Amino acid sequence: MLTSAPVLMLRFQAGPQAHPCAAETLAVLERLKAECNPRSVTNEYVFSTTAQPTELARGKILNELALLADEEPVLSAIRQRLDRRDTTEYAEMLQVLMLGLGDRGSLRPVGELMVLSEYPAVRICAARVLRRLHDVESGEFFIDALGDPRFVRNDACGIHPGKYYPVRTIAALALHEMNLYEPLNYNLD
C-alpha cells in the first residue's frame, strides 16, 4: 500500500492540468504545436517561392477542433494553454483558434496579430478567420493589413518575377465583402 501512494499522488497532481474529457482536443493541439515548430518543413518560409502548406494544415486543425467542440471542452483546453503575453507562434495560433471557435473577446488581439505578428502563417490564418466573421469591427485591421509587407514569390516558372501578398489579398476581399471599401493607394512592389 505504501509503494502505490506516491504514484497516486503524482497522478492526482498531474490531473488538474487538463480536462479528463479533452483527450482528442489535446492531441489536435499537439499537432498544432508541431506545425508551429520553426524547424518543420511545412513551416519554413526562408527559401520558399510558394505559399506553405502549413496554413492549410492549420485550417484543418481549426475545423477538427470545431467538430470536437460538441463533445469536448475545446475552448477550456485552449484557455488553459493560452498566455497572451507569450509571443511564440504556437501561442499566437491559440489566440487565432479561440476566435475561430467563437470567442468574441479574441477579435481585437487576433486583428492585431494579423497586422503585427512576426509569423507569416499566423498573419494568414488570422486574416482568414477574421474574414469569415464579416465583423465590421475588424475593418480597421483589414485596412492596416492592406500594407502588409510580406509576400511570396510568384515567378511564373522564373520567367517573370512577381510577388503575391496573401494577407493583402485576404484583407482586400474582406473589405469588399463587408462593403468597407478602402482606396488601394498602396505600392505593391
Q: How many distinct structural domains can be found in the chain?
A: 1
Residue 60 resides in a domain: yes
Q: How far is CA 162 from CA 53, 149, 151, 189, in A?
A: 20, 14, 10, 9
Question: Angle formed by the axes of helices 54-68 and 120-133, to 10°?
Answer: 50
Residue 51 resides in a domain: yes
- Provide the mean pLDDT of the chain: 81
pLDDT above 60 for 162: yes
pLDDT (mean) for 148-160: 74
Higher pLDDT among residues 157 and 185, named by residue: 157
d(CA 101, CA 89): 18
What CATH number did the domain enclosing 102 receive? Answer: 1.25.10
Band the pLDDT of 153: cuts 50, 70, 90: confident
Counting beta carbons within 10 angstroms of the beta carbon of residue 143, is it exposed (0 to 12), middle (13 to 18) or buried (19 or more)?
A: middle
Residue 10 resides in a domain: no
**Which pLDDT score is estimated for 101?**
96
Band the pLDDT of 2: cuts 50, 70, 90: very low
User: For the whole model, what pTM was predicted?
Assistant: 0.74
Residue 140 resides in a domain: yes
d(CA 104, CA 26): 22
Contacts of 24 (CB under 8 A, 6+ apart): 68, 71, 72
Contact, 166 vs 147, CB < 8 A? no
**Most confidently modeled range among 47-56, 78-87, 108-117:** 108-117
Residue 187 resides in a domain: no
Residue 136 resides in a domain: yes
Q: Is 18 helix (H, G, I), strand (E, B) or coil?
A: coil
Residue 172 resides in a domain: yes
Residue 4 resides in a domain: no
**Residue-number span of the structural domain to which 51 is assigned:** 21-177
